[in-house]
Amino acid sequence: MTPTNSRLALAAFALSASILSAQPALAAVACGSGNFDAWLADLKTDAAAKGISQQAITAGLAGVTLDQSVLNRDRSQKVFTQTFEEFSGRMVPPRMQRGSNMMKQYGSVLSRIEQAYGVPGEVLVAIWGLETDFGVNTGKFATIRSLATLAYDCRRSEQFRAELMDALRIVQRGDLAPADMKGAWAGELGQTQFMPSSWMKYAVDFDGNGKRDLLRNAPDVLASTANYLAGYGWQRGKDWQPGSPNFAVLQQWNKSEVYSKTVAYFATQLAHAP
């Protein structure tokens, strides 16, 4: 090798080494890095690369800060230990009368939803009542802030990062303004508590007003819930008792067998209500 070629080779080696040493600076800011603002700036770049509009990114993430109360709740979750008898006995009787009234009030809507998706109104109203007391208690946490906090935390970072991206897509699509996105501490939204990924996949504009509004619009809430269950294989005309294929679909709504049994029980009570 000539001296000139040798110098060129050494220069090339030095350049490649410098590029390699620079790689960590170009990598994504890690979860839990100690600098939430840097992580958020990196996330904004990632959102834009995924095709989310700058307008949605700016509107959704402006002024977002870490919410320690969300982390505290996430780390202090207790294992669900109530029996079916305890849980259903606490949840169903106080909601029976209102549930029966909702069946009557939304009877024609529920009938059209069943025709469209195959899911009976009793099941939808039971879920509606158990999740948020028919829309009374949807939660007061700022959804995007909660999701950003959980995405930054390293426990389930990728899961919540994906949910945060879908929350921004909800903004981009025009379903909700960021200020209206308030719900449960872990990012669930609306009267039957959809995660943003489920909202993007299953939310429907059932009343045809141009928006999928699961916060304020009961027909959209109920139809979207039916669409979710249908998407997981709900069998039209079949029952929903434990052991049935439709009960397995209810367990896709909530993995807890006690919760799913309570939905099934509540729905059966509503079906027999006068």
| Together in a domain, 215 and 174 | no
Shared domain check, 164 and 117: no
Summarised one tens digit per residue, pLDDT across range 253-272 is: 999 999 999 999 999 999 99
Are 129 and 116 within 8 A, CB to CB? no
Indicate whether 97 and 156 sit together in one domain: no
Shared domain for 236 and 198, answered yes or no, is: yes
131 carries an active-site annotation:
yes
Of 114, 122, 131, 188, which residue is the catalytic one?
131
- Total number of domains in the chain: 2
Residue 212 pLDDT: 95
> What pLDDT is stored for residue 141 in this prediction?
97
CB 21, CB 15: distance < 8 Å: no
Please give the distance of CA 223 from its chain centroid, rounded to a whole number: 16
Instruction: Write down the pTM of the prediction.
Output: 0.87
Same domain (yes/no): 60, 150: yes
Final residue before a domain boundary, out of 154, 183, 212: 183
> What pLDDT is recorded for position 9?
40
176 — pLDDT class (breaks 50, 70, 90): very high
pLDDT at 33: 81
The domain in which residue 168 lies consists of: 36-65+140-183
User: Which residue is listed with tokens 């939430």?
Assistant: 36
